[in-house]
Amino acid sequence: MERVRRAVSSAFSLVAPRKAFRRLTGRLRGGRSQVRASVPLGEVLTSRDSSVQAGKAERHESTARVRGARELRWKELAASERKRHSSLERVFEVAELTPVETPPQRDLLQEAFPLVAPKVCRPQRPAHRGLEKLGQEFSLPGQTLSQVCREKAALVKENAALEARLRATERDLRGVSEQLAEARSEKESLQSSLLEAQQHVSELETARSCLEAQVRTARQAKELILEDVRGLRRELLAVRSFSKQQCEDMAQQLRWAEEQCSKALRLWQAAEEAKKRKIVQNLLQSQKAALDDKVRQLLGDLNERQQQLEQLRQELNKERQNGQDKLQAELREAQRKMEAMEKRHKEEVQRMHKILLQYRLAGRKQSSSSSVVAPAQAAAEEASSAQAGNSSRSSSCTWSTTSSSGSMELLGERTEDKCLAMLKMLVSEGDPEAKYTELETIGRGGFGTVCMAVETATGEEVAIKKISLLEESNSEVCLNEIQIMRGNKNANLVTFVDSYLVDEELWLVMEYMDGGSLHDVIRETHMAEGEIAAVSRECLQGLDFLHSKQVIHRDIKSHNILLGLDGSVKLADFGLAAQLTAEQSKRRSAVGTTHWMAPEIFTGKPYGPKVDIWSFGIVGIEMVEGAPPYLMNTSRTVQQLISTRGTPKLQKPRQQSAWLRDFLCCCLETDEDRRWSAQELLQHPFVTSAKPTSSLTPLIMATQQFMADRRY
């Protein structure tokens, strides 16, 4: 029993190595953490910038710490192993001892020690439970031993990891040493470069001294040059003052010469006007004398006829006694002759009054211009031809024509009479001077003047176009314009209001366009492509309407395109328009304004509505460049250029868009069949991209402002 107790006490002593082992592992872990904390890789890497000696000392210190910690750990492990083995040996020695006991006790020991003595003696019942407890306590050292083995294996693994980390640290240290060697070589190369730079700096200093010397020399030369420049400036100022004086003298001489020329010109003009007035007075006096002679002659003829009538009456009274029937027949014949004579006399008097009115109008025009000689001479020739006709009158009071010119004049008079008769049927009756109040004259054209007026009853503004009917072909033009404007009403055509005959003038009352004409806008401002497209769209809509009604305008130009302040665009002046019919679908007459006329008109070919498209293409060039092509050439030259050169070219085509250039090419196609119609041009991309008409309002207002400033 005593031996068993000693074995149990020795087994219990195995617990102490376990606690010592735990203390050792804790100490080793603290040492490992201390090693990890004491030798961080960042410090090693950051020591590259320190000196070589400090780096070596730190490496030796870190390696010594690691080695010391490792050796200490191995020593503790060896001590714990020795203690564990000694305790186990003692346990097994106690178990192997054969006690001198009774046979039952020896059997008990042989059975108990392989099982760590769970039972001491079977017969002793009271000690059975104590032995079980002792067996359980003896099993604890085995478990402790296995745990120690496991911890030993873990420590071996940690030791291997520490060795690997140590090897990595050594490799890092070798890399750092290599980098230090490279740094030394770089330092040596930098030192050599520094020496070379110092040598270069010395060379630059020498060059700098040379340059400073050159700069000083250049400054001295500059001062000399500046002195020369100052002298030249003084000379130049003297020359300028002298030339300025000469220019002033020359300008004064030119002004004096201009004044002399203007005086001489005024004197010459006064002399010419005096001569013209004398010629006009002489012509008027001669015409008046001729008319007076003619009137006296007519009065003498009338007196003779009256005397003859009296004689006939006396004869009739005498014959009345012979026979009543014969007397009545002769009386009727005499009355018929008298009526015919009075009718012819009235016609002659009206003719003389008309000629006299023409003379008076010609005299008025002559007083304002120098173009009176030709119409006055024509009137004098007409009067002389009338006198010759009167002198060749027969006894039956019939007129004889002696030349073909007289027949042509008679035909023209008949045409004029027909036009006048039709005009009288078309115009309204009443006094327009009472219905409208004239305000101002807003334009003058080839057929008359245009004035702005206000309707007295409504206060509506209208435009009145006054056309003189004394000039040839005016009656036909007026008749044509009234018929076209009455029969065609559209938003893009000027609206016709009414017409009147006042003395020898036809008054056409039309819609008043308060924005002026497109010609004024082109002359005073510059139009953008969007605004050009807007005008093109509105004009093409008006032309499309006219062409759908088989009407050719034949005088499309910027002067005949009127604008409103709201941006509205309308076509005007239909005096040269032509109405096509099924029997006459083409025209040949050469009418229009030369610069805007199509080439087929000059070549004499039959033409249709597309001549208006050509004319509007010229208007497009006007809107782009400010003037039509060939403006400075004569009419004959313009006709030749349009007939031979074909499509006019833009002066600066690259400044315009491709759509605008293509639009103008479509309008100005020399081949009438290939030229686009108004309906096709309305679908052109340039026209469809147009701005609204309201964009024209600023242009119109600016134009009116410029014109008002120039007027005042």
CA distance 144 to 374: 153
Cβ atoms of residues 534 and 690 within 8 Å:
yes
What gap in Å lies between CA 547 and CA 543, rounded to an integer?
6
- Rounded to whole angstroms, what are the CA distances from 34 to 31, 59, 168, 627, 688? 5, 16, 18, 101, 89
- Say which residues have a Cβ less than 8 Å from residue 24's Cβ, sequence separation at least 6: 73, 76, 77, 80
Answer yes or no: are the C-beta atoms of 317 and 335 closer than 8 Å.
Answer: no
Q: Which of 678, 602, 586 is nearest to 639 (CA)?
A: 602
| Closest C-alpha to 521, from 657, 623, 377, 383 | 623
Of 484, 286, 282, nearest to 383 by C-alpha is: 286
Tokens 């029997």 found at? 583
Token pair for residue 15?
């617990």
Which one of 555, 566, 673, 709 is the catalytic residue?
A: 555
The identity of residue 172, as a single letter, is D
Please answer whether residues 24 and 77 qualify as being in contact, where contact means their C-beta atoms are separated by less than 8 angstroms: yes
> Phi, psi at residue 499, to the nearest 5°?
-145, 150
CA distances from 126 to 6, 102, 104 (A): 20, 19, 16
Report the SS3 class of residue 500: strand
Q: Using the 8-state DSSP alphabet, how is residue 682 labeled?
A: T
Q: How far apart are CA 400 and CA 384, in angstroms?
A: 15
Cα separation, 601 vs 700, in Å, equals 33
Query: Judging by DSSP bridges, how do beta strands 561-563 and 551-552 pair with one another?
Result: unpaired
Q: Fill in the amino acid letter for 282.
A: N
Distance of CA 598 to the CA centre of its chain: 31
Yes or no: say if 178 and 184 are a contact pair by the CB < 8 Å rule.
no
- At residue 491's C-alpha, the angle toward residues 614 and 422, to 5°, is 80
CA distances from 219 to 205, 208, 210, 222 (A): 21, 16, 14, 5
C-alpha to C-alpha distance for 274 and 371, rounded to whole angstroms: 14
357 contact partners, CB below 8 Å, separation of at least 6: 470, 504
CB distance 513 to 523 below 8 Å: no
**Residues annotated within a binding site:** 466
Amino acid at 255: R
How would you label 149-179 residue by residue, b for 16+ Cβ within 10 Å and e otherwise? eebeeebeeebeebeebbeebeeebeebeee
Known catalytic membership, residue 555: yes
At residue 475, what is the residue type?
S
443 beta partners: 450
Residue 698 tokens, joined: 């600023």
Written in H, E and C, the secondary structure of 187-253 is HHHHHHHHHHHHHHHHHHHHHHHHHHHHHHHHHHHHHHHHHHHHHHHHHHHHHHHHHHHHHHHHHHH
Contact 370, 276 (CB under 8 A): yes
Residue 681 and residue 506: Cα distance in Å, rounded? Answer: 37
Integer-rounded Cα radius of gyration of the chain: 67
Q: CA separation (Å) from 370 to 266, 447, 579, 587, 632?
A: 15, 19, 38, 36, 24
CB 449 within 8 A of CB 441: yes
> Which residues are documented as binding site for ATP?
466
Measured between its terminal Cα atoms, the distance across the chain in Å is: 151
Range 393-397 contact pairs with CB under 8 angstroms and sequence separation of 24 or more: 397/340, 397/341, 397/344
Residues assigned a catalytic role: 555
